Amino acid sequence: MSEFEGKIALVTGGSLGIGRAVVERLAGDGAAVVFCGVEEDGVRRAEEELGAAGLEAAGVVADVTDAAQTSALVGTAVSRYGGLDVVVTCAGVQRYGTVEDTSEELWDEVLDVNLKGVFLVCRAAVPEMRRRGGGAIVTVSSVQAFVSQARVAAYSASKAAINALTRSMALDHAEDGIRANAVCPGSVDTPMLRWAADLFRGETTQDAQVAEWGRAHPLGRVARAEEVAEVVAFLAGPRSSFITGAEHRVDGGLLARNPAALPDPSH
């Protein structure tokens, strides 16, 4: 029997990047998956590709910063498949700025998507998970919850707060049989990283910029999204039944350096 056979999972930000890899990993191991994204074309394309691969995955266009939409998203999983066992929060944005030059609008955008979105989805999901006798929440955080680049004040703050929220959920809902853990990747080859590489590459190529960032990791490269998805699947499944309230670094040894420091993306 597959590890997630009979399980129902919800993945935010599931149409691309780490989220897409998580959808493929869970659905490929038997889960029925509902995933969301904010761009309809991307959601429909992902849904079509996943279906063509024989995977059970339903895409929903939803904004995780909107309480009504997150409630409806959870409702889709319940009405379509009968409940909810696993929640993985991958939706996120990266923006640049110091405390001094970050606008209130940019701050709100980052915190709304990266932190409030996790809160809203989990708030809607916990009662449904409780009805199923428990389950697993996996939040996608970042090594920037622990150390930081220059000029990512809002992003780093949002990721540190995700870790704190995850610990709180682990404590508050242990009696419901719900575990909560955070995954904290280093640099991962995703559309978000490629966007950042284009922003800072200067006269070099996108691939060269990504490779330069990869060399900051002791393993000498950035991660593949599938490598992060493997850790998510472990934490979402029964093999991690006694793990909760923890942060799990998937960073190629980046934070093992002493002192740990992320490269300044502007150099």
Phi-psi category of 257—alpha, beta or left, where left has phi over 0 and alpha has psi -120 to 50?
beta
Surface-to-core class of residue 12, CB atoms within 10 Å of its CB (0-12 exposed, 13-18 middle, 19+ buried):
buried
Residues with a catalytic annotation lie at 155
Show the DSSP H helices in the chain as ranges: 17-28, 40-52, 67-81, 104-111, 117-131, 153-172, 191-200, 206-214, 225-236
Q: Are 80 and 59 in contact (CB under 8 A)?
A: no
Check residue 256 and report its DSSP letter.
Answer: G
Residues in the chain: 267
- In degrees, rounded to 5, the angle at the alpha carbon of residue 32 between the alpha carbons of residues 4 and 234 is 35
| Residue 5 to residue 29: CA distance in whole angstroms | 7
Distance CA 84, CA 65 (A): 20
